[in-house]
Every structure is written in structure tokens, then in C-alpha cells.
Amino acid sequence: MPDSVSAPFWDAATDGVLRVQRCTSCRTYWHPPREYCLQCESTHLETEPVSGRGVVYSFTRTESGARHPYFQKQTPYVVGLVELVEQSGLVLVTNFPGAQLEDLVIGDAVEVVFEPDENGAVMPQFRLVQVPNTHEGTTT
């Protein structure tokens, strides 16, 4: 449920842009967004566009026991975490749409994509970056 602190993140997603809250004073990123910066207590926080690039931090496949009717119907589904390249420990949740559990390796490069949720609201998601397979000598 977007609120005054989280709305800029979701609004940007609707526009197809990944924006993350950042302190204008000490430049620390925060996610989830906060009322004030825990690093310097500044209340001047903006939601800045980021590269949308990151790496797989970890993941799981929920196969039963999801605590929401929508996700109960979605099982089995993958859910995991991506660490953005902008800052160590800056982690976002994602479902790695299109990826099977077996496709994912911690540390693999990912990039942001935008997908609708159950109600049609646009959510940032992440997919594996396709690395050209140079071993087979293919050219692009």
C-alpha cells in the first residue's frame, strides 16, 4: 500500500523507472524508504534513478504455506533478493520472472524489468542478464 514515503518508488515503477530513496546530504541509499536518514538524521531524502543492475543475493522457491491467497495460488514460485550495484547491502526483493530455481546462481548479474502484479500495478522485477556464450564462438 503506497504511503507518503513509499509512493515515489511505486510511481516511478509505473513510469518504467527504478528509483531508490537517497539522502541528499550524505548520499546513502535506503530501501525500504524511511522518514529520515539513519546515517546523518537528514530529512532531505529524494528518490533517485538507479542503474537497475545488481547481482543475485539469494532466493528460495515457496512450494506451500504462503500466507496470502494470491500467492497460495501462485505456488510454486521463486522469490529472492537482489543486491544493487550502487551500494553494498542495498537489497530489493524480486521474483526473477521467467527463471527457474535451477537457473539462478548467487552472484549472477541481473537487470531490472517491470511487470504487473495481481492487480495490474507495475512492480520492479529482476531477470538474469544474458551473457553471450563466447565459448562456442558465436558472434552478435
- CB-wise, 15 or 136, nearer to another protein? 15
Minimum distance, C-beta of residue 139 to another protein, in the bound complex (Å): 32
Q: Is the dihedral of CA 45, 12, 68, 76 positive or negative?
A: negative
Q: Which is nearer to another protein, 27 or 34 (CB)?
A: 34
At 114, which helix (H) or strand (E)? strand 109-116
Distance CA 111, CA 140 (A): 20
Asked if 10 and 121 count as a contact pair (C-beta separation under 8 A), the reply is yes
In the bound state with another protein, the residue whose beta carbon lies nearer, of 51 and 75, is 75
Cell match 512450494: residue?
A: 63
- CA-nearest of 49, 128, 59, 129 to 93 is 59
Cβ proximity to another protein, 16 vs 32, nearer residue: 32
Interface residue list for another protein (CB under 8 A): 1-3, 6, 31-32, 34, 38, 57-68, 70-71, 74, 77, 79-81, 89, 91-95, 101, 105-106, 117-119, 123
Task: Kindly state the smallest distance separating residue 89's Cβ from another protein, in Å.
Answer: 7
* Nearest-approach distance from CB 138 to another protein, in angstroms: 28
